[in-house]
Structures are given as structure tokens and as C-alpha cells.
Structure 1
């Protein structure tokens, strides 16, 4: 709707002087005001910031001008008083009921609603970031009201900036009221001559400059009510809690989550404490501010007054001065918080000029002017019965966007705003199945990951990530193709799989590689850079496999390490193998043989200690396909403790050489035999026997020396 579509009457001429006793008029789009007769009207919900409604009975004398189907949503105005001191209420047509014809007029009932009705039937889901409550409310109001009503901000200069405000399954009007109320602000409608203004304020008495002075004059047979009198008045003080306590826990303020507390300053007695939890994050300062607002709202309800008058200027925000009441404590200044209005001029219209006069009654509720008006903050729409959906954000698709505390930035699925990437939310924490001080677990989520979120204390403005959601673009790692697998796979392809397939149970831990391997295929077989595979199932299939195909492997134990095999053990090394032991090395075969075989040389070395080869019950055999060299820097001995000692050269010669001498010695009374047939015998008593078919002695000089020389 545009400004030219609103009302055709120019200026405010329709509020000019009355015809006879006529006082009430209605202005509709496309119908001349003089063709509309207002017979009756009655109001409801005319409160501070309320979506007031007036039910107006009319007669329209020119049927050609009226198009009932075109009127809903158009602007309209009801004059409660015309002429000097005119008073009008502006709004939009919510409905028109056509009631037939009478006396050449079309009878109808027009339902006039406040401009706020344009927000009351509209539900939105949206997110506001780093905005104050007045700024959010003004944006929502201006978008909805367009040129139907002006939006004015006259309070809330000190309202704090909120990191995120979420409208979740609530009407625009309920959302605006809720956002304003928790910062001690409210909506009010200020009636001008041609339109209503929607005002955002924190001081009800300052909404309008209209002030009305009314005298208390109780009606009687001699005293009749007038527009400057109050003929009925009652004052009350109600029982409300005398204290308010707001508690909360905000993970962003772990050391500043104490409660906020407020007490009433009213003289009216109170009882009990209003205790609330989880209504607002932001730490103790925010809890204290909310406690103050709740206490002010309790004080607003704690006391007040209700009057009846014929004065037509009363509306929420109007200041009223009461005087001449017999109870002087009642006299004083008040501010109107609601009105109920009812008018009837049918007798004037149907009876002609001078017959009767219009009747009008206003019942107004008042608040002492020294008591600040506050609305009780409404609870946020809870999402405890469901979940929120969003997407993790970040600039690098291959790296999790985390802050120093491990929190993410997300964008709600309902958020169609234009915030930069990573700026669509304050830090959002992720719930973990295990954690505490200096311990826990966390598998980081990459940007574009769809997540399900819960709301802390049911508050959508404080989401907590519960986990990732599988989608066609974000498929689950386990599906119908690998239904027996319990699988953990990282973006780099590392995987841990517990496979429960009957007959093929196995546990596999696999590492991905730079080529994007997933570590484990759909059948549960490992692949990639390396893996640990533990197979169960049939007895023949039991196996543990630890593999690294492209890199090194290191096993380290700070203390003892034990390797045990129930069957055979085989170690295959394609390169060299070095075994370094700081202490002793024991290689023992309890039942079988030990074989050392080398394709080339076999070297056994001890730097400073002894080298001992020993078999307790069996033989020791050292065998070389070619030569065998035994060498010692010090003495060398070959000893047979119980049996014989043989040195045999099967095909060659036996050389025995001593640089410092050669000693061959037998045991006591034992002979030494030299030669194939023992041609040289050195007996144990020292005698020497040379025996042979021929004995040849060749020398440059032969010396014989003996006690006796015998010849046979």
C-alpha cells in the first residue's frame, strides 16, 4: 500500500465541527466521511503497546462508494470527538461485516485494529547479529508498517548490544515486545491528527505531551458527570513478590555467572521471591539487569487505580491529575496504562437534531506517575521439544574454524541474512560425550558441515551443537553397504573400524594418505599409508596385522616390552637390521635348534667382555663353507673337560704355529701320538719313540747324547 492509497480526504477536515449532536465519525478509504454514520463503537485491548480493536457499527448512505472486499488492510480513523479538541484513533480495517439495508443505508460493522495488527499475524524465523533491542524493533516495525504508521525511537540509548537475537516461531509483534521488554523498553502508540505513531520508549509519561486534569465528582441525582470529572474511582494495592532473583549459567562467563537480585521499593507490602533460571545469558551483569526489569514489572502490577469518566482524551501514556477526592492520598498524578471505551449516538442519528445526545464512557486504568512502567519480560519460545539446524562456517574448507576455546561459528538454516562467512553467530560450543579439565575428546567439524543443535535452557539464542547431520551431500560413513561396521573416519582418511560381520569380525585402525585414501574400503579391508588389522571370526582367520606401506614404523616402550607368539614368528627385513641392546642379550631355544645363517659374512663381536657359545646337553658345531678363522688378541684355549679334542684337516694340512714357542703336553702318564700311525710317540714317562718302515734324519750336524745307546 502507498500513501496515495490511504485516505482520500485532504488534511484533517473530517475532524471539523459536528452536525448537531453528532460527535463520532469514521473515515474509510474510498468513502466520503459525510456518507458514513457512526452509531456505536466499543474498544478492547487498548493498552500500552497493545493491538487495540474497535468494533464500530455504521450506516453507509452511498452504496456505490463501498467495496467491502477492498477495505481489509486499508487505513481508517475513528473520531471520538470532533471540532475543538478533536480526538481520533487511527489504524487499519481488519474486517467489515455487511448487515443488510435499512432506511436507504447499508448497515455494517467495521473492525478497526491498531497498526500493530500488521505484525500480529505474521510469523518469521530470523537472526539478528550484534544489534541493540531498539535497532531490532525499529527494523521489524518499519518493514511491516511501511507508510501505515511512523516508527519513532525515543528511549533505550543505553541498551546493550546483543551478540545474537533469534526470532523463532513467534509473531513479529510478540518478538518485538519480548526483545524490548527484557531491556526495560516497550511499545506505545501515539495518536496524531492524521495517523498513529509507534513509539519505542522507556518512560510512559513521556510518550505524549497530553495532560488531563480531572476532578472527582461522584454522580448523584443532582450531579451529572462531565468531561472534566471522574465519577467513579477505585484504588488498589496487590500482593506481589517482594524480591526477584535471576540465575543462569553462561559458558562464556564461567567465573561471572552469579545471580542477579532486586527488591521492591514500594510501600505496598509484598511476599515471597520470584526465582527464575536460564532466562538470559551474558553473565551476572545481564542477570542483574533482568532482575531489575522483573521487579519493576512487579511494582507496575503492585498498585494502581481505575476511573470512569466521559473524557475522551484518555489513552495509554496520557498523564492524568486527580483532584478533589475525599481521600487526599488518592489525589495526585497518574499515567494511563489502558482504557476501555464505548460510545453510542444512534439516537441522535435516527431521531434527528436535538433528540438526545451521544453517550460515551471511558474506563481507564492508571499507574501512579512516580512508579516506572515496565512490562514483564516474556519467556522465549522454547525449542526444548525439538532441535535447531545449522551449518558450520569458516574460510578454509579443509580446516575447522575454531576459537581459543574450541567453539565454532554457525549459520542457522532459518537465517537468510547477509552476514560475512564466519560472522553469522557468536561462538557456539559443541557438546562432547567426554571431557573435563585437561582431558576430553573433540573431533573437529569442517566448514559446510550440517549440524543439529539444542538450545541452552531452551533459548535459541544460545545454541549448543549436538552433532553432525547426514545428508546426500554429507553422507553417513555407515549405510546399507557396510551395515556391520562401526566406523570412525577423519577427513584425512584415517579410520577405526569395528566390524561385526558374522564370521569376519575384525578391528582395523588405518591411516589415510596424501592421495585421499579413505583408509578402509566398504568391505572393511584396510588401505592407505598403513594400518593395524585385528581379525577374528573362524579360528583359521584369527590374525593381527600392523602395516605401514609408505613410511617408517617405530615401537617404543618406556619400560618392559614383551613379544609373544603361540606359534611361529617370522621377521622379514628387506634392508639392514640393527639390534642395539644396552644390557645383556639372551637368545634361547627351549626345545629346538638355533640357526644363524648369513648370505655373506657372519660376525659375532664383543668389545670388552667374553663371547660364550654353550650348549648344556648337546653339541656345538661351527661350520664354514670356505675358511674358518679363530683369532684372539690374548691367549686362546680349546679344552675338552671329559672327552677327546680333535683338530682335523680333512683335505689339507694342519698348521700349528707358536711365535714364542709351541708346547704339546699330555696328561700324567699319558702318551702323545704324532702321525697317521703314531710314528712319533712321547710317552708319559718322558721317553720318545720313533717308529716307521724308514726313519730319515737329515741335518747339517747331528749330536747324540745319552746315558746308553742301544741297537737291535
Structure 2
């Protein structure tokens, strides 16, 4: 095979062109090239000036077809070989594209809502590439990726991964504009967009390896062709899961004819590649089959086509090899070889010895080895391995309020600790992330709708919201760096653990507001405690040995016990109830209180009132005894009062120390049933109506007197003397019956316990107007009127608020503040009204169906006061002088003059009095 051809390669460095004596290098699609080149330079050439300098390599084929490539000097060295007669030395350089430098730069960053093209542009431009150096030829636009993470990767590896994920490949070229030559990178996602070589069909000519002549013209050719086919998987199925569309099965399968005549097919299943839609899954399956096609069949060839380049299309005439291989091909790789060293008298001076370079190879001076695939095959770059990222890495939650910053799915915003950006707090570049936590699955419920009940999924599980600054650990789902999730949170020196060596026997669930569930496993002192902040509401199960105890308490509010059916309370020992105010029981039907052994004792320091809509019935197996230290009054409003003794005993009234007074509006009738006598007796005198109807008068002195005379019928024996006149009976005044209070409707709406959340508040400081609502349905509109009061009882309405009850019973509150300008107007009006007291506000609450709840307590406003102190001549008061201030609430405060000003904190708003203390 002839060894000489006219192909040559020239090197342009710092404006000077040098013919290459030796070149060896490889260029491939979607990979940086690297060329090792040797050339002769004058002795004065200094290598130190050229690392990083631009190099232009010009490839010239034997038929004068050319191409150029622009790169950088990565390494330059003197070989030690010199040619004395022409005063030149041999230099060796390594040429790379600027893209290779990205291998020396790594970063940790997050990119949101970017396509692969966006990421490539942003990355390359920050490394010095200009927009005209990046050219894109895309059949369709790549998808937008919501989240892309660069971690544990160089910038080069990062863009390789990003491009390969979306099936995009690239090749290098060179352009000259305005006498400036620069590197250009072309990005493509379809083989059809690759340009053809600027030459006609390349022929296969096995008999030569040098330039051939036809009609005096040289031409190039291929002198070796080899076909290679491989057995690869012909079916690819991609499967993934998207938490935003869990109802969609992300599964697509693609098949190619790479297996040929094989009966069985090789099937590859791939899961968890970060494909979040059916379209994306289908594309990944398509790209996988296209990569398999690239690997399954390719052509390798050798020739002397010096201008051939990776990423170009070429027409190859293989008729002299095998006609079916004549076709258009995509060049995927080129290895260039040039060796002109034998043509020069190269002297290498090493260790004092001269040595002549002699060519010993039978290969041509220039030849290239190429790899190519048919143009019809869609080229796709191989997926690079994923970066070996840490199993977990840290981040901090960012929130802009007192509560956790969550989206409508309960996902968090955070800033990775690897994020060194300068974005403001809560604006870190990160999408909302899910947090690994216990999930109980959905709970099915039904909501009324137009077409009947509609099923609704209600979430279940457990979630402790993370707060601003909390450190969390992230991991990547399926090892995909673009799918992070929160797998846990951890304490640090500023956020200590809820269990330490001080309480190592406890198991605790505790929230930021100090709500807590605690289980203490201390031996013989086991406790379960559920409480709110500061234990204001608490449920405690105390299992201390021999002291078992259960406590349910609310220290500041109300407690409601409700049972849809039976509420059963049982105590094997004493059952004690204490109420600091009223106690009310409302029973829909019957109320029964029974003791099995002892008595029922009711005691009150004031009144005991029994009221019945119909009858009040007392029944006792033995006695019914009613005792009163003072009066006992029985009042019957309308009907009769009957006292019946059914047994064999009698009816007795005993008055030990006072009189018996019986008064009626009509007649008094005492009637017996002839079962015995009726006797009125006192001190040996009286009368008796016997059971037979006789009347006996008896006594030491019996007087009968009548204003109109006395008539005696029947046989009468009597002796008349002159008795003194009898007393004229004087009736007692009528008893005035007092009405019992009406029955109270305990189910009526009630507004009670009106109070400000604080009694002193700075001007314009919000304060809560609080009250308790009871027995409402929920949804009622409540009106809150704010009044400013003065010492003369004059109340001025200054504001009206409205509040919709979200619950029928419970604590209610609404925020209010008085602007400084309006408070000053209130104070001026008080001065007009001669009110010398503090500026004070109270509120009332009006609710539909509820009685007047009265007024709230008073709210006083306070403020800081600065007093400019001057003497009678207008000169500032001497520093250090003590000043006494008496505020409207008669509180004395003392301050000292400094720079002519006396300052007083928290002075009640109202008239003030200033004076020097006595002796000054």
C-alpha cells in the first residue's frame, strides 16, 4: 500500500501557521475532542506564553477539501528534538475545546422550570461562551423540567446528563466573522439536521491508501470497510410514578427490529427515571430503543479523507465492497493519524546523543478511522451514569411567618445547605418538597351534591409541621438527583432534642406552641400526659404505685362533656363536685337521684329553690321534716292547699316561742268526722266540741260578750257579774305574697365573660376583645361596640366591629386598636368635657336571641412621654434635675433631665401633672 499522500494539517498559533509533523486525536459526537500535535518552531519560541491560547487546526485533504477546528492549548512542551541546520525545535501540544474546561469546575445548584437548552445556555455562557457560539437545531422543543439538581458533578458532567436525558447530541465546528475565528457547538435532536460534508460521494477503493489521480486530479477514498452488528435488547418499557397525578399509570413500551430472526426478545424494564408524564415516559422509551439501534449496527472504515468530521453526514459508495452498504451515513467518531516526521531531518538531543527519526510504518502519512451509522437511524447519546450523591444531605426550612410554610398539599419550601446563592430569605430556588411521614391512606367520606352523595377522600396520617430554620435531611427518590424529598428532620445545638439526659425516661410529642403528649416510662411512676400550653388544659393518667390518679382540667376556660347516648359516671368511693360559680343541670325527661345507703344532703348559705311546672311531690317512708331557723312560708297562688294524713297518726303544729296566726280572706272552717273531739285549750281554759256535737266551755273565768247581745238557746243556767270589757279583736294585715322568679331557659343563647385580653396597651397596639358564646348554632353575626367613657358617665361610641361565630359555643375574640390620631381626638374631647381621668375604653356585645351581657372591663392606653424642660427664661433645665410626673391614674413616676429632656415610660394616656420634687 503506498504510504505517501498529499493530505496535510496546519497549526495556527498566535497568528503564525506551522505544518504539523505529527497528529493523533479523536473526535466524537457528544464528546470533547483531544489532539496531540507536534510541529517545528524557531528556537526563540517560548512555550510559557501559550497555555490556554487559541489554536486553529486546518485539515486539508489530498483533493484540497478543507475543514477547520478552533480549540485551546491545554498543554505545550518542548520535546528536546532540534534541527540544527534550520534552527528549529520540535514542540508538542495538546488541543482541546473550551468545553473540556468545564470538567475542572463543579457546582452545587438547583435549577427550576428549565429546559435542557436553558440549562446548557446558562452554564456555557457563564464559562465565556457567547450566544453566537451556541447553535440549536431542534425538531421539537425539549420538555420543561420543574426541578434539576447539580450535586457531586462537574459542569461538564452535568450538561452531558441533562442533554442525554432529552436525546440531544452535539458536535464542534468553527466559524470566522469579522476576521475573528471561534469555536461553535451545534446542538441537535434529529439526525436529519446534521449537515453533509462539503464533498461528493466518498468511494471505497481497496487497492490504494494514497491520493489517486483521474484526469490529473487527486481524490480521496476509503480503503477499508468493516460492518459490525450486535445483539441488543429490542424492547424497552419505562414505568414511573408522579405524586401530583397518582391516578395516572405512567407506563409506555417501545419495540424495534434489532433482534432480527431471533425467536425470543430481550425486554428491558426501567423504573424511576424521573418521567412525570405519559408523553415523557413514551419519549424515554423511544430514546432507549434508538440507542439500542445505534449499538446494534454500525460501519467502521479507514481512508485518507482528512476533512471528515464527527457529526456530519457523508455519502459512501461501497459498491466495490458490498452494494447494499452504499448509503448516506452519520459519522459518529473519527480518529485522525498524521506522521510526517520521517520527511524531516529531526534530531532529538537527549543525554548528549543524536538520533535520526526514521519512518518504519507502512501506513500512509495521513489516514483516518471512522465509525458511522446509517442516516435513517436516529442518533441518541448514551445516558451517563448518575452522580454518586450522598445518601442524605442537609437543608433548612424557610418560612416567613409564625407557622409552617406549606402549600395546599403540605409540601415545604427550603434552602439546601449546599445552596450558596444570595437570594433573600424564603426565596431560595427550590420547589415545594414532600416530607416522609406516616400516612394512613385516604378515608372515604361523602358530601351532598346535585346528583346525590359524592365520595370525597379525606387524608389520614401524622404530620408535625416544620418551622423556619429547622434542619432536615434530603434524599433522592430512586436515586434521581432531580427528585428530592424530605426524609427526616434533626436537632442541632440551637434546637435541642425534646428528650435528653434530663428526661431520658420520657417519650414526647411536643409542638411549637407547647402542646404536648408525654409518656413517662419511669419505673413505678408511669405517667401519660396530654396538655396545651403551660398546662392550662390537661389530661393526665398517673400510674404511680399505690397512687393511681386521673386528672382532666382546664385552668382558664370552660369544659364541655357530650355524649350522643348514655354518659355514665361511676365512683367506688367519694364523688365530689365543686363549682366556683353557678351549677345548672338541664334534663330533657326525668331526673333521678338515689342513694343506696346514706342520706341525700343539700346545703346552701342562701336559698334553696324547687320549681315545678306541675306538681312538687315529696315522699318519705318515715318522716318528712322541714326546719327553718327563721320563717317558713308556704304560698299557694290559685288553688287550694290540702294536707292529708292517711295513717293512724295525727297532724300537729308546735310553735315553741311565738304565736300562731291564721288569716284568711273568707271563712275559716274546722270540721271533724265524729271520730273524736275538737278541743282548743290553753292554761286550763278553752272549749271542746265533742264528737257527739256538744260544746263545753271551761276555764277559771269565762266571758261571753257581744256588741249586739248574746243569745243562748235551750236550758241555760248562768250567773251574771260585771266583767270588764273584752278586748276588741284587731286583725293582722294581709300577708303580701312574693312572686317566684321565672324558670330560666338554660338552652337560650348566652353571651358572657366580656373582657379585654390586657388592661394596659400601647397606643396602636392591637388588643383582643374576648367573650364566651354559648348555645348558638354557629354562623350568627355578632356586633361588638367600642365605647370611650369619661368620669361623668358619658359614653361615646367610637368603633363597631362584627364577628361571625364559627362555633355555637366557645371562646371568641376579635382584634382592635385605636389609631394614635383618633386617641388624641378622644383625649381632647375628654378635656372639653372636664374629664380628668385616664382615657378608657370598654365594649359591649350584641347577639341575636341573647340578653344584654353588660359591659366589659376597662382598657387604658399607655405611651412613652418626652418632656422638654425649660426654666422661666426659656433655658433648658440643668441635666440631672429630677422631675415628678403624676399620670391620670394617680401613679407617680420620676425621671431625670438629660439634654433638656425628661423621659417617662408607659404613662397612662390622660391629663398629667409635672412638678419638681420638694426641695428643688
Give TM-score, length-normalised by structure 2: 0.65
CA distance in 1, matches of 2:223, 2:150: 45
CA distance in 2, matches of 1:577, 1:444: 40
Aligned to 1:248: 240
Higher relative contact order (CA 8 A, sep 6+): 1
Aligned to 1:429: 434
- Picking from 418, 429, 439, the partner of 2:459 is 439
Aligned to 1:202: 189
Change beyond 3 A, Cα 1:222–1:283 = closer
Q: Secondary structure at the match of 2:94?
A: strand
Q: Secondary structure at the match of 1:51?
A: strand
Change beyond 3 A, Cα 1:507–1:106 = farther
Unmatched 5+ stretches in structure 2: 348-355, 443-457, 720-920
CA distance in 2, matches of 1:24, 1:642: 145
In the alignment, structure 1 residue 548 sits paired with structure 2 residue 535: no
Higher strand share: 2
Change beyond 3 A, Cα 1:388–1:657 = same
The more displaced of 621-630 and 530-539 is: 530-539
Aligned to 1:239: 231
Aligned to 1:397: 401
- Picking from 587, 595, 599, the partner of 2:601 is 595
Q: Secondary structure at the match of 1:259?
A: strand
Change beyond 3 A, Cα 1:414–1:693 = same
Change beyond 3 A, Cα 1:675–1:29 = farther
Deviation at 1:605, TM superposition (A): 0.9
Q: Secondary structure at the match of 1:347?
A: helix
In the alignment, structure 1 residue 639 sits paired with structure 2 residue 645: yes
Q: Secondary structure at the match of 1:134?
A: helix
CA distance in 2, matches of 1:447, 1:336: 55
Q: Deviations over 1:108-127 (max 9, x none)?
A: 65433333321223322211
In the alignment, structure 1 residue 471 sits paired with structure 2 residue 492: yes
CA distance in 2, matches of 1:234, 1:317: 20
Aligned to 1:564: 570
CA distance in 1, matches of 2:567, 2:209: 112
Deviation at 1:651, TM superposition (A): 0.8
- Picking from 296, 299, 308, the partner of 2:290 is 296
In the alignment, structure 1 residue 41 sits paired with structure 2 residue 23: yes
Deviation at 1:554, TM superposition (A): 2.7
Change beyond 3 A, Cα 1:156–1:649 = farther
CA distance in 1, matches of 2:225, 2:209: 18
CA distance in 2, matches of 1:339, 1:145: 27
Q: Deviations over 1:98-144 (max 9, x none)?
A: 65566667666543333332122332221112221111112212223
Deviation at 1:570, TM superposition (A): 3.5
CA distance in 1, matches of 2:474, 2:571: 50
CA distance in 2, matches of 1:146, 1:642: 123
Q: Note the 1:648-659 alignment, pairs <5 A.
A: 648-656=654-662
Q: Deviations over 1:294-339 (max 9, x none)?
A: 2222222232211111211222112221113342211111110012
Deviation at 1:408, TM superposition (A): 3.3
CA distance in 2, matches of 1:351, 1:164: 58
Does the 8 Å contact 2:506/2:520 carry over to 1? yes
Deviation at 1:622, TM superposition (A): 1.8
Aligned to 1:282: 276
Deviation at 1:166, TM superposition (A): 1.4
Aligned to 1:488: 509
Deviation at 1:462, TM superposition (A): 2.4
Aligned to 1:217: 205
Does the 8 Å contact 2:688/2:697 carry over to 1? yes
Aligned to 1:343: 338
Aligned to 1:532: 539
CA distance in 1, matches of 2:520, 2:229: 72
Change beyond 3 A, Cα 1:133–1:326 = same
Q: Deviations over 1:536-568 (max 9, x none)?
A: 43544734041131x333333222223334443
CA distance in 2, matches of 1:621, 1:274: 98
In the alignment, structure 1 residue 91 sits paired with structure 2 residue 103: no
Does the 8 Å contact 1:149/1:195 carry over to 2? no
In the alignment, structure 1 residue 462 sits paired with structure 2 residue 483: yes
Change beyond 3 A, Cα 1:466–1:159 = same
In the alignment, structure 1 residue 317 sits paired with structure 2 residue 337: no
- Picking from 611, 614, 617, the partner of 1:612 is 617
Deviation at 1:347, TM superposition (A): 1.0
Q: Secondary structure at the match of 1:389?
A: strand
CA distance in 1, matches of 2:250, 2:83: 71
Change beyond 3 A, Cα 1:555–1:359 = same
Does the 8 Å contact 1:125/1:169 carry over to 2? yes
Change beyond 3 A, Cα 1:74–1:560 = farther
Unmatched 5+ stretches in structure 1: 1-19, 512-518, 521-525
Aligned to 1:183: 166
Change beyond 3 A, Cα 1:466–1:705 = farther
CA distance in 2, matches of 1:562, 1:222: 109
Q: Deviations over 1:140-175 (max 9, x none)?
A: 122235479933333365122222211122222221
CA distance in 2, matches of 1:671, 1:139: 125
Q: Secondary structure at the match of 2:323?
A: coil
